[in-house]
Structure 1
Amino acid sequence: MPVQMKLIAINLDCPDPLALASFYQQATGLSSHPKSDADFAGLNGDDGLFIGFQRVDDYQAPSWPDQTVPQQLHVCFKVEDLDQAEARLLELGAKKPEQQPNKDKWRVLIDPAGHPFCLVTS
């Protein structure tokens, strides 16, 4: 029988927690955690999910799709319109790698700290 668990937090290492929290806040509309600071910042979702961003000295961004510095985790976001969501995220500072495994169904983008994340259609 599976353990009953609810995901309540995702934390990402990064060099600048406030900047990365700002990127994801603008991208998702989640609210800033009131105790965010230069070492640890966070966003609160209405459903109780917390996304945290923690400062790591000498942070090395993943080198996706190359695995020289492997990704440890990536996050997927459901969107209605891939092109529209991609354009907005690129305006906010995301990067788009050349390699796109299935660009009609999902898009891989890289956040300002180098974490890959995906946009998927409904």
Structure 2
Amino acid sequence: MSALMELSAITLDCPDPPALAAFYEKATGLAPHPKSDAAFAGLQGADAPFIGFQRVDDYRPPSWPDQEVPQQLHLCFAVDDLDEAEARLLELGAGKPDQQPHEDRWRVLTDPAGHPFCVVVRR
């Protein structure tokens, strides 16, 4: 039986689509979509879903780990070395919340717009 659906895109709300796209471009190596603009920017890759970033007026970042403003979703990225990936992502502008539930197995970071995401060891 073939799948009914295939994941083709993930879109994140944010205050500044080009800036958030630039962060994820540097972090993932995905290429900018040629029609990106100030209201909607995107990244694409041959073997990856499209990642979109859409401008939202009065954007409020998630407040992880408390749920005053829920995270609603988060992305996970596989890496070879947690410490190396964390250091590089922090250099690119990521944040690191104080609460780290299983820091030996994965790291919770936040992108420049406040979305939580995890880096996990590639298996």
TM bracket (short chain)? over 0.9
Aligned length: 122
Aligned-residue RMSD, C-alpha: 1.2
Residues 1:90 and 2:95 aligned together = no
**1:48 & 1:111 partners in 2: Cα distance?**
19
TM-aligned CA deviation for residue 4 of structure 1: 2.6
Counterpart in 1 of 2:47? 47
* Matched letter for residue 14 of structure 1: C
1:1-122 matches, cutoff 5 A: 3-47=3-47, 49-122=49-122
What stretches of structure 2 of length at least 5 have no aligned partner? none
TM-aligned CA deviation for residue 49 of structure 1: 1.3
SS of residue in 2 equivalent to 1:49: strand
SS of residue in 1 equivalent to 2:6: coil
Summarize deviations over 1:12-40 as a string: whole Å, max 9, x none.
Answer: 00000000000000000000000000000
How does the TM-score come out when normalised to structure 1?
0.96
How does the TM-score come out when normalised to structure 2?
0.96
Over the matched positions of the two proteins, sequence identity in percent amounts to: 73
